[in-house]
């Protein structure tokens, strides 16, 4: 659960508990009244409400008074999205419950939406037929429920019961729920503009040294920037593998060559991420008091926090890598590589 | 994912798409249309399409079995690609058709030295010398040194003879006679500081560096450090046999007992000690490495590496390259097996321990990685890159005190070599301030000491 990293970001919001017995082929739906149902068929868009994808004010009454953090002026100014509903405990924490608490599902929605946006060629660069194929594939292959199932499967391999319970206890705390809500809000489309606007304000009203140090320490404790770079590398790997695999055998890249390219992309991404890290985290957590941020850092640096970050990192990288590889493979099957090349040539994207 | 991660992701996708799509749709260059297979071979060779060049040369030789030029071209191309039996066959055929052709004799002699058949090469050089007029031969053998430079300039084939003889004598370990020969034919001049010239060429083209160090070895027998550097440079280049001879010679020439001990250790952990590596095996290894790294010719390289291993089972380097190829193909278990074989062949191979440690680390098998990386730095204490890799593995296991000790030692060492590794320093500073973090420490591998960088 950190701001800017998909993984830690994925640590947040307490949502309704999904039983761990659900397998990858089971779909969970939440209706407008908040009723949860399970089915072996994917829910139709109008039936589904992604867990807390929209920023909404915190319903004051839902947070017990004794657990509510003392909010300072900055915090009161923030319209925090709704944290997941508190989950009744009836036994050991399930992995699904932990992932719900962490906000993984909600943040995956934003992540996949952004990813699909990046993979989709600009309008007019492809024929209408190709564009329709791409849109269809992106809708199907990057469904957040399917990718979430991959995350959960990969996470299950990392489970450590003691640390899982300690993490769940933290995530159930009001402060963690507040943090997750902020992170979810920060993962939504359109945040980039908000960060830019916020960055402009901190030029005249710079953060305190303590705040800067807390955020640096948070990144140190969670490896947030590293995880983001890992995710970028996973996406790059998936695309490269798919595109290479679609070509003639003599032109296909060896795994080692692919890794070399991925390493280059990762190095470039890492530089960009480090540059942007401070502004982004200042924005994400500007609704927290220093003491609250310090508590977050403390948890992240604990054994449980380190376990959680490590497990989520592996799960996210694995899941996203697989999802992107499959998606990219479908995309180049539906729209041959040369037509993609023409589209990207026609509309070059800035490489920063 | 939040903003800046998404922005980086967008850039990465754009970059990946541009690169991947660009490569996938790259049009092959329109083939030239030379008039013959021989021309095609030459054109392909010059364009770096070596396998195609050999194929064209084969067709040319098959189509013109009595053409000395075609046969020699095929032999030369086969030699270049490490197909030594084929090269031998076609050099012999060319020599049979033109027994007195100086170029054919010279190239055959050169090839014969490459595969380590020195006596046969000397016989060919005698034949080459015999092709010269009697007075030229007399001058070559008996004229004072002051006439030799002009003589060799006027008769380049005589200089070729001298140079090949120098190689033969040096490779056979008779450096004294090689030096006498070099002086006698004015290849080296008294009073020249060849060593300084060689050091000034550091970073120049490989052939230039090679020639400069060679002259230093021949012209300055007392320049122990220079000879040693030459040996270490050769080790990085893959010439393990000559490298071994030079390091031994440098150790012999030095007055420092510590340097003598260091030289002996270098030979043991870097050059296989006294394990026999036939010249042919070494050359196959060198060519296989080129075919893999330069041409990406996995199959051809693997075959040559395997042949090198067959000829020199205790030679660790080709095993390490087979491991690299396996890893390149995504077969980490296969890579592991090759490295284990390398270690059985040469348990003191510093490089093999290092590669094993790094491979175990990528597999997150940290205790095994630690064992091999500890051995790595035990074998070569100045291996800062190996020490940083060890530090990383220690960190991954929660051995933070040991991590800090090793990382600090590496940073301090590298500072003396003007390789500051700021990313490691930054990591250590944060570690000191905040305790262990979630990310593993960086483990860069700066190349700072000649002779320890490549295999």
Can you tell me the mean pLDDT for B13-29? 58
CB contact under 8 A, B5 and A6: yes
Tell me the three state secondary structure of residue A28. strand
**B183 vs chain A: nearest CA distance in angstroms?**
49
Element spanning A36, H or E: strand A36-39
> Cα A319 from chain centroid?
12
Could you tell me if residue B141 is inside a domain?
Answer: no
> Cα B276 from chain centroid?
18
Could you tell me if residue B198 is inside a domain?
Answer: yes
A34 pLDDT above the threshold of 60: no
Select the more confidently predicted residue: B170 or A269.
B170
Query: For the segment A259-268, what is each residue's pLDDT rounded down to a tens digit?
Result: 999 999 999 8
**A283 vs chain B: nearest CA distance in angstroms?**
10
**Residue B260 domain boundaries:** 194-270
A349 pLDDT above the threshold of 50: no
Query: For the segment A95-121, what is each residue's pLDDT rounded down to a tens digit?
Result: 999 999 999 888 898 889 889 988 888
Q: Are A269 and B9 in contact (CB under 8 A)?
A: yes
CB-based contacts of B180: which residues, under 8 Å, 6+ apart? none
Quote the radius of gyration of chain B (alpha carbons, Å).
26
B195 pLDDT above the threshold of 80: yes
Indicate which CATH number applies to the domain containing B204: 1.25.40
Query: For the segment B120-162, what is each residue's pLDDT rounded down to a tens digit?
Result: 999 999 999 999 999 999 999 999 999 999 999 999 999 999 9
A26 pLDDT above the threshold of 50: no
Domain count across chain B: 1
| Token couple for A185 | 């809000």
Could you tell me if residue A113 is inside a domain?
Answer: yes
Could you tell me if residue B210 is inside a domain?
Answer: yes
Can you tell me the mean pLDDT for A275-284? 90
Q: Does A178 touch chain B (CB under 8 A)?
A: no
Select the more confidently predicted residue: A46 or A295.
A295
CB-based contacts of B168: which residues, under 8 Å, 6+ apart? B113, B118, B121, B122
**B276 vs chain A: nearest CA distance in angstroms?**
32
Residue B42's pLDDT is what? 93
Q: Does B23 touch chain A (CB under 8 A)?
A: yes
Can you tell me the mean pLDDT for B99-106? 96
Could you tell me if residue A352 is inside a domain?
Answer: no
CB contact under 8 A, A283 and B3: yes
**Residue A80 domain boundaries:** 6-346
Could you tell me if residue A313 is inside a domain?
Answer: yes
CB contact under 8 A, A300 and B438: yes
Judged by average pLDDT, the poorest of A41-55, A269-283, B204-218, B399-413 is A41-55
Q: Does A198 touch chain B (CB under 8 A)?
A: no
**B105 vs chain A: nearest CA distance in angstroms?**
39
Which B residues in the span 321-340 are in contact with A, Cβ-Cβ below 8 Å?
Answer: 327-330
Contacts of B328 in chain A (CB under 8 A): 254-257
Q: Are B140 and B129 in contact (CB under 8 A)?
A: yes
Quote the CA–CA distance of B223 and B13 in Å, as a whole number: 55
Quote the radius of gyration of chain A (alpha carbons, Å).
20
Quote the CA–CA distance of B229 and B210 in Å, as a whole number: 11
| Token couple for B126 | 């005698």
Q: Does A57 touch chain B (CB under 8 A)?
A: no
Element spanning A58, H or E: none
Residue B35's pLDDT is what? 67
B11 pLDDT above the threshold of 80: no
Could you tell me if residue B206 is inside a domain?
Answer: yes
Could you tell me if residue B173 is inside a domain?
Answer: no
Which A residues in the span 59-118 are in contact with B, Cβ-Cβ below 8 Å?
Answer: 107, 110-111, 114-115, 118
**B10 vs chain A: nearest CA distance in angstroms?**
6
Contacts of B2 in chain A (CB under 8 A): 3-5, 9, 183, 186-187, 191, 195, 280, 284
| Token couple for A289 | 């008091």
Could you tell me if residue B244 is inside a domain?
Answer: yes
Q: Cα-Cα-Cα-Cα dihedral of A212, A215, A221, A224, to 10°?
A: -130
From the list A282, A296, A295, A254, the residue with the least C-alpha distance to A8 is A296
Could you tell me if residue A351 is inside a domain?
Answer: no
Quote the CA–CA distance of A167 and A8 in Å, as a whole number: 12
**Angle at B121 (CA atoms; ends B119, B122), nearest 5 degrees:** 65
> Cα A98 from chain centroid?
15
**B432 vs chain A: nearest CA distance in angstroms?**
12
**B329 vs chain A: nearest CA distance in angstroms?**
5
Could you tell me if residue A1 is inside a domain?
Answer: no
Tell me the three state secondary structure of residue A27. strand
Domain count across chain A: 1
Q: Which among B20, B23, B434 has the least Cβ separation from residue A239?
A: B20
Q: Does B29 touch chain A (CB under 8 A)?
A: no
Q: What is the torsional sign of CA A267, A269, A270, A276?
A: positive
**B21 vs chain A: nearest CA distance in angstroms?**
6
From the list A3, A7, A5, the residue with the least C-alpha distance to A316 is A7
Residue B18's pLDDT is what? 60
**Angle at B226 (CA atoms; ends B225, B232), nearest 5 degrees:** 90
Which B residues in the span 421-440 are in contact with A, Cβ-Cβ below 8 Å?
Answer: 430, 434-439
Q: Does A338 touch chain B (CB under 8 A)?
A: yes
Q: Which among A192, A247, A269 has the least Cβ separation from residue B24?
A: A247
Q: Which among A222, A236, A244 has the least Cβ separation from residue B12?
A: A236
Contacts of B12 in chain A (CB under 8 A): 232-233, 235-236, 265-266, 268-269
CB-based contacts of A126: which residues, under 8 Å, 6+ apart? A134, A335, A339, A343
Best interface-test mutation with B: which of A110, A227, A265 has the largest number of B CBs within 10 A?
A265
- The full DSSP string for B401-445 is HHHHHHHHHHHHHHHHTT---HHHHHHHHHHHHH---SSPPP---
CB-based contacts of B362: which residues, under 8 Å, 6+ apart? B332
Residue B344's pLDDT is what? 98
Query: For the segment A129-170, what is each residue's pLDDT rounded down to a tens digit?
Result: 999 999 999 999 999 899 999 999 999 999 999 999 999 999
If you count residue pairs, one on A and one on B, with CB atoms under 8 Å apart, how many are there? Answer: 187
> Cα A46 from chain centroid?
23
- ipTM field: 0.79
Could you tell me if residue A21 is inside a domain?
Answer: yes
| Token couple for B175 | 């450096």
Residue A1's pLDDT is what? 56
Quick one: pLDDT band at residue A344, thresholds 50, 70, 90? low
Which A residues in the span 217-236 are in contact with B, Cβ-Cβ below 8 Å?
Answer: 217, 220-223, 226, 228-229, 231-233, 235-236
Quick one: pLDDT band at residue B199, thresholds 50, 70, 90? confident
Q: Cα-Cα-Cα-Cα dihedral of B158, B164, B166, B172, to 10°?
A: -150
Could you tell me if residue B207 is inside a domain?
Answer: yes
Report pTM. Answer: 0.82
Q: Which among B9, B23, B437 has the least Cβ separation from residue A235?
A: B9
Q: Does A257 touch chain B (CB under 8 A)?
A: yes
């Amino acid at each position: 659960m950190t701001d800017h990293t998909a993984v830690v970001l994925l640590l947040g919001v307490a949502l309704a508990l999904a039983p761990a017995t659900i397998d990858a082929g089971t779909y969970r739906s939440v209706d407008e009244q908040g009723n949860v149902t399970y089915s072996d068929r994917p829910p139709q868009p109008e039936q589904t409400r992604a867990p807390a994808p929209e920023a909404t004010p915190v319903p004051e009454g839902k947070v017990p008074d004794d657990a509510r953090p003392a909010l300072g002026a900055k915090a009161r100014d923030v319209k925090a999205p709704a944290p997941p509903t508190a989950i009744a405990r009836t036994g050991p924490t399930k992995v699904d419950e932990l992932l719900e608490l962490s906000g993984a599902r909600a943040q995956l929605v934003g992540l996949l939406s952004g990813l699909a946006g990046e993979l989709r060629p600009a309008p007019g660069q492809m024929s209408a037929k190709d564009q329709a194929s791409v849109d269809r594939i992106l809708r199907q292959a990057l469904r957040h429920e399917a990718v979430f199932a991959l995350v959960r499967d990969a996470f299950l391999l990392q489970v450590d019961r003691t640390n899982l319970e300690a993490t769940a206890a933290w995530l159930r705390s009001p402060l963690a729920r507040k943090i997750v809500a902020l992170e979810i809000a920060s993962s939504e489309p359109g945040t980039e503009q908000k960060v830019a606007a916020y960055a402009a304000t901190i030029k005249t009203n710079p953060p305190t040294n303590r705040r800067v140090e807390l955020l640096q320490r948070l990144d140190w404790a969670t490896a947030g920037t590293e995880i983001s770079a890992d995710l970028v590398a996973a996406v790059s790997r998936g695309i490269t593998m798919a595109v290479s695999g679609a070509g003639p055998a003599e032109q296909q890249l060896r795994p080692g060559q692919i890794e070399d390219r991925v390493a280059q992309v990762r190095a470039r991404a890492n530089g960009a991420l480090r540059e942007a890290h401070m502004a982004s985290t200042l924005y994400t957590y500007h609704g927290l008091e220093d003491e609250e941020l310090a508590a977050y850092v403390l948890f992240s640096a604990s054994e449980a926090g380190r376990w959680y970050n490590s497990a989520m990192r592996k799960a996210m990288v694995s899941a996203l890598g697989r999802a992107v590889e499959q998606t990219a493979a479908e995309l180049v099957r539906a729209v041959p590589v040369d037509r993609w090349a023409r589209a990207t040539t026609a509309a070059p994207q800035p490489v920063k | 994912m939040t903003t800046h991660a998404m922005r980086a992701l967008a850039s990465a996708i754009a970059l990946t798409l541009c690169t991947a799509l660009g490569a996938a749709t790259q049009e092959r260059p329109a083939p030239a249309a030379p008039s013959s297979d021989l021309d095609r071979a030459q054109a392909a060779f010059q364009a770096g399409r070596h396998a195609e060049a050999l194929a064209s040369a084969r067709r040319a030789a098959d189509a013109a079995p009595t053409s000395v030029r075609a046969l020699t071209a095929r032999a030369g191309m086969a030699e270049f690609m490490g197909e030594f039996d084929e090269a031998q066959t076609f050099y012999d055929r060319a020599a049979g058709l033109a027994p007195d052709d100086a170029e054919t004799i010279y190239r055959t002699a050169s090839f014969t030295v490459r595969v380590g058949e020195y006596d046969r090469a000397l016989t060919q050089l005698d034949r080459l010398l015999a092709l010269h007029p009697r007075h030229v031969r007399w001058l070559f053998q008996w004229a004072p040194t002051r006439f030799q430079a002009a003589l060799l300039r006027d008769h380049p084939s005589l200089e070729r003879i001298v140079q090949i003889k120098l190689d033969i004598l040096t490779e056979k370990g008779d450096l004294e006679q090689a030096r006498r020969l070099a002086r006698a034919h004015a290849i080296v001049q008294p009073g020249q500081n060849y060593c300084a010239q060689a050091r000034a060429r550091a970073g120049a083209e490989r052939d230039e560096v090679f020639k400069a160090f060679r002259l230093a070895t021949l012209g300055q027998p007392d320049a122990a450090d220079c000879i040693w550097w030459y040996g270490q440079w050769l080790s990085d280049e893959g010439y393990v046999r000559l490298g071994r001879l030079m390091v031994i010679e440098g150790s012999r020439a030095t007055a420092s007992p510590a340097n003598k001990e260091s030289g002996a250790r270098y030979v043991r952990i870097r050059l296989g000690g006294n394990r026999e590596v036939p010249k042919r095996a070494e050359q196959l290894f060198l060519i296989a490495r080129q075919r893999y790294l330069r041409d990406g010719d996995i199959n051809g390289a693997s075959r040559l590496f395997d042949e090198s291993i067959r000829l020199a089972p205790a030679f660790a380097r080709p095993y390490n390259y087979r491991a690299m190829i396996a890893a390149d193909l995504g077969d980490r278990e296969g890579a592991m097996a090759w490295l284990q074989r390398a270690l059985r062949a040469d348990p003191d191979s510093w490089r093999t321990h290092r590669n094993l440690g790094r491979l175990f680390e990528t597999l997150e098998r940290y205790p095994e990685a630690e064992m091999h990386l500890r051995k790595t730095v035990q074998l070569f204490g100045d291996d800062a890159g190996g020490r940083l890799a060890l530090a990383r593995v220690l960190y991954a296991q929660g051995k933070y005190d040991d991590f800090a000790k090793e990382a600090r030692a590496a940073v301090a060492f590298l500072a003396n070599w003007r390789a500051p590794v700021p990313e490691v320093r930054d990591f250590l500073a944060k570690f000191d301030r905040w305790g262990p973090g979630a990310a593993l420490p960086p483990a860069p591998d700066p190349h700072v000491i000649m002779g320890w960088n490549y295999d």
